[in-house]
Structure 1
Amino acid sequence: MGTIFKTYSAILIFALCGLLLGNKCYCQKNGSGIRGKPEAVADAKAMVETMGGITLWAQLKSVHFVTEWYPCDRVDSYIENEILDLTGPRSWADRKSEINHILRVYSPEGKHWSIVNGKFSYASDDVLKEDMIRAPFNFYHLVKAIASGDPFYEVRFGTGDIPHTRRLEFYGPDGVMNGWVILNARKEPIVKGTAQYRYTLGPLKKFGNLYFPVWGVYDNGYTRYNLISATGDNKDPDMSLFIPPAEYMEN
Structure 2
Amino acid sequence: MDAWNILVVVVLALILLLILPMVAARNGTKSFTQALMAPLHRKKKRGPLGLEVEPEKKPERHVNNSMQGELTAIVSQLITFTKRQHYTLVYPGTIQEDGQLTTTLALVVTPGGVVGLNCFGFAGEIRPGDQPNDQWRQHINHTDNRIPNPVTTSEKQQVLLRRAMDRAGLSGIPVEVIAVFTSKEARLTGVSAQKCFDRDGMIAYLEQERFHSGPVEDTHETGVKLKSLVTVYKSEKNKKKKK
Q: Give the TM-score band, short-chain normalised.
A: under 0.3
Q: Is the radius of gyration larger for structure 1 or structure 2?
A: 2
- TM (normalized to structure 2)? 0.23
Higher strand proportion:
1
- TM (normalized to structure 1)? 0.23
Identify which of structures 1 and 2 has the higher relative contact order when contacts are C-alpha pairs closer than 8 Å and 6+ apart.
1
